[in-house]
Amino acid sequence: MKANLAIRGELRLARLLWGNLNKFQIENLFALVSVHRLSVKRGDLLLLDGKWYVTHAGLLLLACRKHCLGVQVRPVQEFWNNELSRFAFRAKVYKSEKCRGFDGYGDADASNVSPLMHGSEMRIAETRAVNRALRKAYGIGICSVEEIGPLSGLVQTKSQSKNETKKLPPRPENGNGTKENGTRVRDRLCQIIRQHQLDPVLVKAYAIDFCGTKTLRDARREQVESFVAHISDWAQKDRNALLCQLNSYLSSQEGAA
């Protein structure tokens, strides 16, 4: 009974984030939640371009639950080119002491990494290798988010599509900043939301909490600028952790609905 309630809760959350799901998407979600105990709420799963993807955080949690013995990662030097920022790794996952290991390879360079992440190709290549090895070891048939290239062109969430033109309200000319400055801050925030595929409704809820005001209109321009810088830095360094933070505001949004 508890398992069924948990699965239904995951389905409700998925529909809240991405709208109506087709039969194939629902069946896949039920399998991922029931068999592998992956969770939309924890940020283990994302729906992009109509397909489910698992996150690095979700795979690591799965490995912990399964008492994974360890992961060995080594560079594949013949595919390295420091001048071109091209890197490759081989990861081997050991599920137990008797396990012979599951191999996975990952590569990254400027051509398959988001422009926002240029300079992080080596770390991304390592993460991709670990993800592939973990997916093989534990029978995860779907690709991980970190293995795909730039997310431009992928389908947005339900809230994003409905609020595609929704922007941060401009600040009034009351001494806290000019209308032009407010517009620039608003446009920057909208750009971050689009680039990192964030839910604008949840971002707004987080912004209000961050600024410590009742509404976003009550926040000073300096507070909003600080929030924009904060969320931009977090999205670039650890998008999965940011998604978990944003998902924590879902309950309040559901209550408001």
DSSP-derived secondary structure for 201-212: HHHHHHHHHHHT
Q: How confident is the model at residue 165 (pLDDT cuts 50, 70, 90)?
A: very low
Calculate mean pLDDT across residues 229-238.
84
The pTM (predicted TM-score) of the whole model is: 0.61
What pLDDT shows up at residue 171? 41
Per-residue tokens: 155: 């389908």
Q: Which residues contact 228 (CB under 8 A, 6 or more apart)?
A: 185, 188, 189, 192
CB-based burial, 175-214: b 16+ in 10 Å, e otherwise:
eebeeebbeebbebbbebbebbbbbbbbbbbbbbebbeee
Q: Which residues contact 212 (CB under 8 A, 6 or more apart)?
A: 223
Residue 168 has pLDDT above 50, yes or no: no
**Mean pLDDT on 78-99:** 94
253 pLDDT above the threshold of 80: no
CA atoms lying within 13 Å on the CB side of residue 171: 23
What region, left, alpha or beta, does residue 167 occupy, with left being phi > 0 and alpha being psi -120 to 50 degrees? Answer: beta
Per-domain residue ranges for the chain? 2-52, 63-147, 158-256
Fold of 63-147: Double Stranded RNA Binding Domain (3.30.160)
Q: Which of 169, 166, 121 is nearest to 146 (CA)?
A: 121
Least confident of 31-35, 116-120, 203-207, 222-226: 116-120
Look up residue 3 and give its two tokens.
């398992």
User: What pLDDT is stored for residue 200 in this prediction?
Assistant: 84
DSSP code, position 144: B
Q: Is the pLDDT of residue 212 over 60?
A: yes
For CA atoms 12, 16, 18, 21, the dihedral sign is positive
pLDDT band of residue 97 (cuts 50, 70, 90) is: very high
